[in-house]
Amino acid sequence: MMLHYDFSRKQWFHSDQQSAGVTFGANNEQVPFLYPRPEKELVSFQFKQNNGNAGPIVGIMSSPGKKHAIAGNGPLFTALQNEMVKTGGLTVVFTPENLSEQGVDGYTFLPDTKRWINISTPLPHIVYNRIPFRSTEKSKVFLKSVQLLKKNHVFLFNPCFIHKFALYTVFSKDPFLKQFMPDTALIKSKQDLVQFLGNHNRIYLKPALSARGAGIFCLRILETGKTMLINRSGVEHFSGIDAFWEKAGSRLTRQDYIAQEEITPALFNGKRYDFRILAHDGPDGYKVTGVGVRRSVKQDITTHVLNGGTLLPYEVVEAKEHKELFAEIVTHAGERLSRELGYFGEFSIDAGMATSGRYVIYEVNSKPMSFDEAEIEQSRVRLLADLFIDKTKFNKG
């Protein structure tokens, strides 16, 4: 059915005399019947109905921005609104500060005029967590907003960033996934590091809550007993682990760092490459949406494009074994994450292959960036819209 929004009154209404008793939003706000007045500035949206409730309203929760009112992945937000309008629904992008028991004040995109507008809605039926900053997820206002959503039975989609050691712990409980996880330890002291180096003399040190390869470096114990540190800037040598800890120990304990055994990666034309596997939940469970490949160029610490990596067509390394294994990994990963940490309808996996032929899971991202491969990103938007509708049960309305 068609609902109209009056900007001056911040009011939703309908003009269908046959639709008495229509409600809107997760809090079932009553929608009044009114005749549109031509002098009023209005915007109209087509919605589905589920037992007299119009929707779905999809809340996209983000953070306040420095240059813009809201930070985050603008192209993704725009594409999702375009898709929801075609399907019959509405997305509203908002920050935790603008969520209340009555609803949200946020922004939506108008495809016809290609502009963003301020809009107020009742409580969304589902909230897609796209908070871009880990600090925001630790804030009181975010935690309060999560409790408000839970109290009002609003479905929260992708509840949090995934701590790298929590990921290791969760996946290690799954016999199938455990075989793909590099040995990993949380570093809280020099003794933790020394103990781990006793098992592996070539390791990666990674911030447990970083993204895009930020803060990662490689540490190696040489035959001479000296320690070599490798990062994106170059190489540094130390007389031993004590000298290294004296310089870097405060950094490693100021924030959570993990140590991870170094995997000798398979190479393509002499350079390391990794897989980026995008996955979504759906009617038949978790499935692979698409696979991208990233190859290192100037350094082999990370293959992230923002850190100098480059795209490689999946076709050049594609194999039947990849397809079958990735499908099984995605199924186990989605089910295990949702069982242990809350519902994840979307995630991406950074995976690779060792020279031995062993497959490795390096990381899982609960808030995947946009894929440079257009066909993968288009599938992503469509599958997310389908998932929003399915989880809010408007596919039956």
Taking only the tens place, the pLDDT of each residue in 26-39 is 999 999 999 877 76
Residue 296 tokens read as 């290192």
- For 2-157, the fitting CATH number among 1.20.1070, 2.60.40, 1.10.3470, 3.40.50 is 3.40.50
pTM for this prediction: 0.93
Top-level class of domain 184-261: alpha beta
pLDDT(134) > 60? yes
pLDDT at residue 392, as a whole number: 97
Considering the chain, what percentage of its residues have pLDDT values greater than 90?
A: 84
Taking only the tens place, the pLDDT of each residue in 269-304 is 888 899 999 999 999 999 999 999 998 875 455 545
pLDDT(310) > 90? no
Helix axes 74-87 and 374-391, enclosed angle (nearest 10): 50
- Among 211, 91, 180, 161, smallest CA distance to 337 is for 161
Taking only the tens place, the pLDDT of each residue in 204-258 is 999 998 766 678 899 999 999 999 999 877 899 999 999 999 999 999 999 999 9
Domain boundaries 164-179+265-366, corresponding CATH code: 3.30.470.20
Q: What angle do CA 326, 369, 329 make, to 5 degrees?
A: 15
Taking only the tens place, the pLDDT of each residue in 160-213 is 999 999 999 999 999 999 999 999 999 999 999 999 999 999 999 999 987 666
**How is the chain split into domains, by residue range?**
2-157, 164-179+265-366, 184-261
Residue 52 — left, alpha, or beta (φ > 0 → left; ψ -120 to 50 → alpha)? left
The more confidently predicted of residues 9 and 336 is 336
CA pair distance 60, 357, nearest whole angstrom: 40
